Structure 1
Amino acid sequence: MILCDALSGVGRHEEAIAQGTQAVALLQRLSQAAPAAHQLRLALSLRSLGRPLAALDRLDRAVEAGEQGVNAWRCLAQADEGYEFDLTVTLEKLGRLLTATGRYKETVRTYEEIVALRRRLSHPKADQLLALSLINLTLPLAELNRHEDVLARGEEAVAILRRLAQEDPAAHQPTLVMGLVQGLGLPLARSDHWQLAEGHLREAVDLQRRLAQEDPAAHRPALANLLMVTVRVWISRRHALQDALAAAEEAVEIYGTLAARSPAAFRAPLDESLQLRDRLRATLPFNDERLEQGGH
């Protein structure tokens, strides 16, 4: 387990997989004979094995290791509730892998189990973790066209994050922005709830802009990224294209400043924002009225 982590940590993923596979096979045999003595080490070893598998995009094997890990942690949690937090962590890793492989029905079941656990677990960040799990649940629900469920889970998550942001704005406002975008704005933009989606996206941009005004160094990069998210959504919907152009112009200005200081980090997003801005500039002078009407 330690060797697997060490090898994976320095990018030697093939060797890590070989070591991890060997360790898991041994511990599976030992845990069959004496579960109480070896189940924890088996669970940890499966977690370690999943990292290099995911790093090399061997997602089917990573899912298999993740499912075995969930079973191991579930056995531990049944005997000792203190392991339930580790179970939720392992379930979340599995959920991300299932999403990456397009297995959305299984992803929904996985995140629903996480949400059920989060609702009753005692943890210093219990409410925030529950909100994040609800947000994670909205993506596979949207992929399955369960839009009413998306709305319900997203609204619950955002309500939790609003309360937390009122109690401690500095700690939770950035997470509220993320919740408005990922929990409601983007999933609803895929559905027939476009007006709701747009309202949440605009609120997120307004909040992120205030954060950027208060602390430009910390929040301007995220503002530029969020502006480009909204631009892509508006273009895909052929809606509010004048607003999309204004957002693209603002993103270009921010990325231009950032790229001047750190070209390696920000040149690529600057180029993308320039391309989208120029595309909108080329389109709008000739088709402004028609495209704006078409978006409604």
Structure 2
Amino acid sequence: MTHRVNSATADVASLTIHWNEVGVPCIEPHDEGSRPMVNVRLVIVRGVLQLLGLAGTVVGGITWITGWRHGHGLITLGLIVYVVSFFTRNVSFRRSEGDLELSRSHQSTGEKALQHAESAVRSFRKYAARRPAAALRLATALDRQWDLLNDLGRHEEALPVAHAALETWRQVVEQNKSRREYLSRALSRVVVTLDRLNHDAQESIPYTEEAIAISRSLVAPYEERLALHRTNLAIDLRHLDRWEGALPAAEEAAAIYRRLAATDPKQLSPAAESAKFLAVTRRHLSRAAEAVEATQLWIRHERALADADPARTPGLAEALSTLGGDLRNLHLDEEALAAYLEALELCRTVDEPRAVADALPPVVHTLRTLGRHEEARPLEDELGTLRREHPPAGVHVLRIPSPDQAP
């Protein structure tokens, strides 16, 4: 079964960085046209500060007149306190509490981190109800809560959180279109959670299609995300046996990854997977010649990976063997033999007898087809020896006793 690519978890670090860029100040000016919030604690704090400021100013003035040399300093302190009281007008204790809980969540792990995240969500939800501009805080806290639930495997609880985060990010994007990238990530979180809960693929498609539309509207650095969403859409459509619909998505994903891999070696692995998936899709649709083209692209990526890391050699051998099968379907036996032989030689280099045993049959069969029986015989003998010495896992040999051995 092909699993959907999870991009949501990979984005946690970038969201945290973004949060730090926003900062965690506890004083924020009101938006133009917004109504001041009524908060009893704020009124009390502001009143106490003003009383202290006035008292300090009056007492300082009196003591200064009476000759106390520090009286002028008390006057200055009283005036400062009085002026500071006016700046408490826009202080939000609710926001401060949410910031503190979210910070504690990032400093903790497991259930403890989740408790702090849930507390931050509650605080920011009350704050955002009064201040729509605070939706960004709430969205970030919800993302943190989803990440933790996902890490803990509590996907049933994560689903409503993913939906709540999605709706909150929609509000954020309405206020600031530059946040569309995070809306795309929120959509991906919903898709990932639905997949973890084994929901019908049809349910995920609208979210994936919306994420694709958003990714298309973003600039070049987000092409990788577009390719990821196109791959997810192709997977969903394939699960629904809608192979014709999956083909354009698979083709676009492969084309994007091919372009990215040309300049970024880190993209070679997903590029190889996307080319492999494209070959499978074309083969299923009986587009044999186009399947060969996709398989050759897969080989190109696997060869680059194997050059950088010999541990990837089995992947290259698999791709070459697949190419051999595609070429035989087109009755191109000579070309197929060349691919099979290269795959066989690669299997020999990794010193894996069972891999060699798997690579030998197509070589032998193709040689027989081409009438090259003398070349096929030693390979058949080698295959027989390997299968005796290294039988496939799970295969048991039944030995029938001879008549003189029978009881």
Would the TM-score normalized by the shorter structure come out above 0.5? yes
AA matched with 1:185: A
* Mapped partners of 2:154, 2:203: distance in 1: 18
Q: Which residue is 1:250 aligned to? A: 346
Q: Which residue is 1:176 aligned to? A: 271
Structure 2 counterpart of 1:76, from 172, 183, 187? 172
Farther-moved stretch of structure 1 (26-35 vs 194-203): 194-203
Aligned residues with identical type, % of pairs: 21
* Mapped partners of 1:99, 1:252: distance in 2: 39
Q: 1:248 to 1:45 in 2, by over 3 A?
A: farther
Higher helix fraction (1 or 2): 1
The alpha-carbon deviation at position 186 of structure 1 amounts to 4.6
Q: What is the correspondence of 1:92-241 to structure 2 with a 5 Å cutoff?
A: 92-103=188-199, 104-122=201-219, 124-164=220-260, 168=263, 174-182=269-277, 184-187=278-281, 191-193=284-286, 195=288, 196-197=290-291, 199-209=293-303, 211-212=304-305, 216=307, 218-225=308-315, 227=317
The alpha-carbon deviation at position 46 of structure 1 amounts to 1.2
Q: TM-score, normalised by structure 1?
A: 0.68
Q: What is the correspondence of 1:60-71 to structure 2 with a 5 Å cutoff?
A: 60-71=156-167
The alpha-carbon deviation at position 15 of structure 1 amounts to 2.1
The alpha-carbon deviation at position 226 of structure 1 amounts to 5.9
Task: Compute the RMSD of aligned alpha carbons.
Answer: 3.8
Native 8 Å contact 1:205 1:223 kept in 2:
no
Q: Which residue is 1:4 aligned to? A: 105
The alpha-carbon deviation at position 113 of structure 1 amounts to 0.7
**CA deviations over 1:131-184 (Å, ceiling 9, x no partner):** 232122211111111211211111122233444556x375765553233124x1
The alpha-carbon deviation at position 247 of structure 1 amounts to 4.5
Q: 1:250 to 1:41 in 2, by over 3 A?
A: same
Native 8 Å contact 1:228 1:248 kept in 2:
no
Q: How many residue pairs are counted as aligned between the two chains? A: 255
* Mapped partners of 2:106, 2:320: distance in 1: 39
The alpha-carbon deviation at position 119 of structure 1 amounts to 1.1
The alpha-carbon deviation at position 44 of structure 1 amounts to 0.9
Q: Which runs of 5+ in 1 are unaligned?
A: 257-272
Q: Which residue is 1:261 aligned to? A: none
Q: TM-score, normalised by structure 2?
A: 0.52
Q: Which residue is 1:260 aligned to? A: none
Q: Which residue is 2:29 aligned to? A: none
Native 8 Å contact 1:92 1:114 kept in 2:
yes
Native 8 Å contact 1:225 1:251 kept in 2:
no
- Structure ID, larger Rg: 2
Native 8 Å contact 2:316 2:343 kept in 1:
no
The alpha-carbon deviation at position 62 of structure 1 amounts to 1.8
* Mapped partners of 2:118, 2:107: distance in 1: 15
AA matched with 1:201: T
Describe the SS at the equivalent of 2:108. helix
Q: 1:188 to 1:56 in 2, by over 3 A?
A: farther
Runs of 4 or more above 6 Å deviation? 229-232, 239-246
Q: Are 1:36 and 2:137 matched, yes or no?
A: no
Q: 1:19 to 1:248 in 2, by over 3 A?
A: farther
Q: Are 1:17 and 2:114 matched, yes or no?
A: yes
The alpha-carbon deviation at position 35 of structure 1 amounts to 2.4
Native 8 Å contact 1:138 1:187 kept in 2:
no
Native 8 Å contact 2:142 2:165 kept in 1:
yes
Native 8 Å contact 2:295 2:319 kept in 1:
no
**CA deviations over 1:38-77 (Å, ceiling 9, x no partner):** x112111111111221122211222221121111111100
AA matched with 2:314: A
The alpha-carbon deviation at position 3 of structure 1 amounts to 2.5
Q: Which runs of 5+ in 2 are unaligned?
A: 1-101, 370-407
* Mapped partners of 1:143, 1:73: distance in 2: 29
* Mapped partners of 1:7, 1:231: distance in 2: 49
